[in-house]
Amino acid sequence: MHTMLPLLDRLAFPAIRRGALEALQVNLTYRCNQRCLHCHVNAGPTRTESMSDETLSILHRVIDAHPVHTLDLTGGAPELHPRFRDIVRHARREGLRVIDRCNLTILSEPGQEDLAAFLAGQGVEITASLPCYSRENVDRQRGEGVFAASIAGLRQLNALGYGEAGSGLVLNLVYNPQGPSLPLPQEKLEADYKRHLIEDFGIRFDHLLCITNQPIARFGSTLVSKGQFNAYMQLLRDSYRAENLEAVMCRSLISVDWQGYLYDCDFNQMLDLPLQLIGRDRAHLRDLLGATLAGNPIVTRDHCFACTAGQGSSCGGALG
């Protein structure tokens, strides 16, 4: 199922524990209209994994009963789940902040013509992949024609008010490095993105989130095939900053897979490293209805160094 890549000394990463649970990051489906080189989920058009109605009913119960304030929807392309809009409506009625991890090209897929308007109408925060402001670099990483479709998607969102000050419609972009290197400083890169996108395309957005590539799944396999895995792991270790430990996302977020099983983060989910809960071989969404996870030990391995290297990295961008 999930391939565990060669890891170095697993005892080297410090032991950490959970704080209060604030966010659920839910992987609704591995199906995607793209197949990106850096994708740690190995998502693509031929994947069929998708959250069932039974599991969704438990998710709704957790949302109703648990004091989480953020529902972070991811995939694959989460919008391709047949119940995506029902999930969004339910969470918004309960007052949750909803984040859609959008690849932008989904906005121009057949049957999704009204998707952007739906997201705006529900006040959904969009975190959109755009690994560069250059057509050549984006198409090399994500496929021919992806850049043009991404720009078209961003223009749709801007026309609805996304990225406009005071609109209440938040549009964030996500940057991943092209290869085995750390992201450039987020603040400087955000300024470059904003300048290029407004000058070249008239596009506005709120924040750029820099995310370090994880040495797992599709990207990790590429590193291994090129003989770069050990060097990249050494870079992550050498760039470790202890101060980032306090802000890593696994302290306040739980990752939920398409079957409803729980993980400390999305990356642990891809490595099949389940969240540890006393009395459970595999913790499930239903366990959140009665469990208190504050103080729970977090499962760590060497890939965790990607989150603490340099400026730090999380699904919300740089940590410091």
Query: Closest Cα to residue 174, out of 100, 274, 255?
Result: 100
Q: How many CA atoms lie within 13 A of 249 on its CB side?
A: 27
Which pairs from 195-203 meet CB under 8 Å and 24+ separation?
196/133, 197/133, 197/154, 200/133, 201/151, 201/154, 201/155, 202/155, 202/158, 203/151, 203/154, 203/155, 203/158, 203/163
Is CATH 3.50.50.60 correct for 10-308? no
Please give the pLDDT value at position 270.
87
Domain boundaries, the chain: 10-308
pLDDT, tens digit only, all 320 positions of the chain? 344 444 444 447 999 999 999 999 999 999 987 666 555 566 688 888 999 999 999 999 999 988 899 999 998 899 999 999 999 999 999 999 999 999 999 999 999 999 999 999 999 999 998 877 877 777 676 667 888 999 999 999 999 999 999 999 999 999 888 789 999 999 999 999 999 999 999 999 999 999 999 998 778 888 999 999 999 999 999 999 999 999 999 999 999 999 999 999 999 998 999 999 988 889 999 999 887 789 999 999 999 999 999 999 998 999 97
